[in-house]
Amino acid sequence: MNAAANLRDRMDPLEQLIQDAPGRIDAAETIVALDEIEADTVGRRSPIAEARSALGGIKDAADRGAAGKAINDIANDLTSQIAARRQVLEGAEVNARLLSDKVDVTLPGRVPRRGTHHLIQQTMDEIVDIFVSLGYTMVQGPEAETAFYNFTALNIPETHPARHESDTLYLDYGESDEEILLRTHTSPVQARHMEVNDPPVYIVVPGKVFRADAIDATHLPVFHQIEGLAVDDGITFADLKGTLAEFARQYFGVDTEVKFIPHYFPFTEPSAEMHAYTQGRWIELLGCGMVDPAVFEHAGYDPDAFTGFAFGMGVERMAMVRHGITDLRTLIDPDVRTLEQYR
Ligand code: DAH
């Protein structure tokens, strides 16, 4: 086979290429497909490359030059067609990406479900806030308490029925005052606070308390109280009445009337129950009284130098009165339909 025939053989595939390639380039739908076509047409194993490698066989320099130029023209033409198609495809890909990333700002937003404080916590926060607005500070104490702070320091004698095993949840039996129990009220924090703080004292103490009671509509073995203690120079029963009446007005409404009924608590003398007139009836709200000198003595305060008042209220009771809840168990119902009513 002579060189010219050889070249013609090599040129035939080029003719084919000139015919087919433009259509294939135009039909390429993706950059990947176009890359393949590029390799087939102008790449290292393409008809163009083969034609170029056959150029050396043309002896006549002028013929060789002409053939080389012809091959280059074809190659340049195809390369620019491929480049043009590549631009089109790249533009389309960007558009497609923009389209799929599009955010429809007219869609309604997705509102995440929000949690909320339980009604008991809300009630506690609200009551504490009222006292904070009157100048009180919130303090807390341990739920596992010694018999000393829970009873003795509060002037509750060994013989008192509250100290009995059937009324109190003991964690550790032992020598009377060292026994460990789940506190039956928040009052022990009075004694703990006075032991390490000098007067004046104005504190409120929210927290959990525990009693050996079976669950029914009016009893829970775990419930919440808020204790209050004010000790200063010359505090009187009038201060107690004014403070607690103001609390009732803030919590139940400005017109709320209150009355104080004599009662007995070991840690106050005199002691009283405060009742409030709300929703058409008198309701007992809390226990209160002037701090018993024996409590001051246990705490290391001079009972001749200071006077004070204390009070204790049930948080669940406050929530029930305010929201008209008649069964305490509603407050420990984990059903979301119940909980959502008090958001
Ligand atoms: N600790 C009492 C109870 O759990 C409530 C109470 C009554 C607290 C009178 C007080 C108070 O501070 O003065 O029933």
What are phi and psi for residue 118, nearest 5 degrees?
-65, 150
pLDDT of residue 14: 83
* Residue 49 Cα to ligand 1 middle (Å): 101
The answer to whether residue 41 is domain-embedded is yes
**In a shared domain, residues 170 and 215:** yes
The answer to whether residue 130 is domain-embedded is yes
Handedness of CA 85, 86, 92, 95 (dihedral sign): negative
pLDDT of residue 8: 67
> Full-prediction pTM beyond 0.85?
no
Mean pLDDT per 10-residue run, the chain (343 residues)? 64 83 90 90 88 87 88 90 90 88 88 90 98 98 97 93 86 89 97 98 98 94 98 97 97 96 97 95 96 97 97 96 93 91 84
**In a shared domain, residues 288 and 165:** yes
From 151, 167, 185, 220, mutation site for ligand 1 pocket: most ligand atoms within 8 A of C-beta: 185
pLDDT of residue 134: 97
Domain stops at, among 73, 100, 127:
100
The rounded distance, in Å, linking the Cα atoms of 116 and 341 is 11
The rounded distance, in Å, linking the Cα atoms of 171 and 116 is 33
pLDDT of residue 10: 62
pLDDT of residue 2: 66
* Residue 288 Cα to ligand 1 middle (Å): 6
**In a shared domain, residues 127 and 30:** no
The answer to whether residue 69 is domain-embedded is yes
Q: Is 333 helix (H, G, I), strand (E, B) or coil?
A: coil
The answer to whether residue 105 is domain-embedded is no
Pair type for strands 201-210 and 137-138? parallel
From 267, 295, 296, 317, mutation site for ligand 1 pocket: most ligand atoms within 8 A of C-beta: 267
**In a shared domain, residues 250 and 320:** yes
Domain stops at, among 35, 70, 100:
100
* Residue 178 Cα to ligand 1 middle (Å): 22
pLDDT of residue 115: 85
The answer to whether residue 310 is domain-embedded is yes
Domain stops at, among 100, 127, 146:
100
The rounded distance, in Å, linking the Cα atoms of 167 and 180 is 14
The answer to whether residue 266 is domain-embedded is yes
Q: Which residue shows structure tokens 């509102």?
A: 111
**In a shared domain, residues 169 and 311:** yes
**In a shared domain, residues 73 and 14:** yes
Structure tokens at 312: 């204790």
**In a shared domain, residues 136 and 178:** yes
* CATH number assigned to the domain comprising residue 141: 3.30.930.10
* Residues 6 or more apart in contact with residue 309 via CB below 8 angstroms: 229, 230, 235, 237, 239, 240, 243, 268, 288, 289, 290, 291
**In a shared domain, residues 142 and 95:** no
pLDDT of residue 309: 98
**In a shared domain, residues 155 and 25:** no
The rounded distance, in Å, linking the Cα atoms of 317 and 325 is 9
Tell me if 251 sits within 8 A of 130, measured CB to CB.
yes
307 residue type, one letter: T
**In a shared domain, residues 123 and 92:** no
Domain that holds residue 12: 3-100
Q: How many domains does the chain have?
A: 2
From 145, 183, 265, 269, mutation site for ligand 1 pocket: most ligand atoms within 8 A of C-beta: 265
Identify the residues whose C-beta falls under 6 Å from ligand 1. 185, 187, 227, 265, 268, 287-289, 310-312
The rounded distance, in Å, linking the Cα atoms of 134 and 242 is 11
The answer to whether residue 95 is domain-embedded is yes
DSSP annotation of 134: T
pLDDT of residue 57: 87
**In a shared domain, residues 96 and 131:** no
- Encode burial over 279-300: b for 16+ CB neighbours within 10 A, e otherwise: eeeebebbbbbbbbbebbebbe
The answer to whether residue 110 is domain-embedded is no
The rounded distance, in Å, linking the Cα atoms of 240 and 289 is 8
The rounded distance, in Å, linking the Cα atoms of 102 and 285 is 60
**In a shared domain, residues 60 and 152:** no
* Residues 6 or more apart in contact with residue 45 via CB below 8 angstroms: 39
